[in-house]
Structure 1
Amino acid sequence: MKILISVDMEGVSGIVHPSETNPDGYDYQRSRQSMTADANSVIAGVFDAVPDAAVRVADAHGPFRNLLPEQLDRRARLVRGKPRPLGMLGGLDADTDAVLLVGYHARAGEGPAVLAHTMNDGLLDVRVAGRPMGEIGLNAAMAGHLGVPVVLLSGDDAACAELHALVPAAVTAEVKQALGQGAAVTLHPEEARELLRRSAAEAIRRRSGITPLSLTGPLEVEVDLAAAFMVDLATLVPGVTRRAGGRTVAFTATDFGEAYRLLLLLAQLATIRPA
């Protein structure tokens, strides 16, 4: 059995503030330890359920170079660095049997939700066929495009609810309760990791009853961007048009795989600042 574990940082147990998730922040190094420990708990849960599983772990936060390779469970293979195909789902293919989303956060505009955003600060909102979608929905739909179910998500209560709205049968592990963008009631890290291990094992055992999220094309995609110059850059991409109002761009994708790849490009363009 082939498993992909995608690990973000904002939804990791105990983390509530940008200084903990930014490589320049004072507490980032401790967060790397926490992120790696949470990932190891999920890896252990997968192997509890399927001892001979082939497990890949995609580092899916910021620079994609946060997990500590020397501390990661040696039974897993680490996917790190960027740019890479499929971004946060690096290592995913149609032969994968299940995806687990660890340390994820709610979409931009949700609240109360810890460190909610979508891809980066340049993207204020993403709508696919009129439905608002953050990283949880986008990654679940990309996995679903390849016929792969997302079977587990860990994060705060808002993130767990976001996945359940899309994939009701998925297992969730709520490691903190959001009080706001930068505050939460959190489980003790050891309690959180015990929950993650149990939940991962349960999710793998239940995978056959969890349906992949499938969005049939063609798909109309709208993106609200944070600044006018981001719109100017986005409209240089063939097929991307400006919508009335000045901050929204749109495109039509033949299927979700095409939509996902173009969203990755728009997110990268949004990080470019004018000379």
Structure 2
Amino acid sequence: PQAGRGAIGRALPRIKDVVEREELEYEIVETTTPGHAQELARAAVESGCTFVVAVGGDGTVHEVVNGLMGEEGPIAPDVVLGVVPSGSGSDFIKTFGLPTVPEEAARNLAGKNVWGALDIARVRFRGDDGKDKMRWFANIAEAGIGAHVVVSASKMPRWLGGRAYRLAALRAIIRYRPQAGHLDFNGRKGRGVRPDTPLEPGKHAGVFTMVVVANCQFYGGGLRVAPRAIPSDGMLDVLVGEGTKRDALAALRKMHTCRPRSSLSTWSTG
């Protein structure tokens, strides 16, 4: 109910009215804590539910997706994921051209705008507690300055609204340090989209300001970071920033206007 700074709590009565007019059977289960949506989604699937709807922003969608997935894949392959956006960030639905107004999105649940298969990707990482973790993502995963901005903005006062991201970006210019690392494409040559250097099988080493792995096209409040990404083609678009911190932030700003991003290299897995 607190998604979108409480917006979902205000929109829920209108969403219920639409669903009832469409004569859909439904049960509303509200979250109470972070991570609760994942638990509820998993419980729904294990009880035999085949249509699970995430009502909220990208954070809610992410939790629900992880609730639908097990260690190696979907808990139930025939489960359908629906989304009614009503959060502070709803980038996932933009790739599909779905309505951003909750009531209009609720009408789609009746089958008037159906999307097919959706790729889900797995990421393994080491958490702040030093423990190895695994998560699934349907939209975009990132390491680098963009992720630093998101984490920093999430800790700022809610009354700042969209200004929190701008302040976090300024802070990132001062505090963030590019990280040395490598990209391993598991011995398969990528299909170059506009690479600055050819991607050969094996590892691509460098000092990175950002690495974005995209299944869908949008993130960060409307940034179209991967315009060629297709969420059902079995591939991921990989964007790599190896310039300065200012280059990376400038590239992110240009994504709002679809201008060229000379500081980023782009590949597709294949």
In the superposition, the TM-score normalised over structure 2's length comes to 0.34
- Higher-Rg structure is 2
In the superposition, the TM-score normalised over structure 1's length comes to 0.34
Q: With CA pairs under 8 Å and 6+ residues apart, which has the higher RCO, 1 or 2?
A: 1
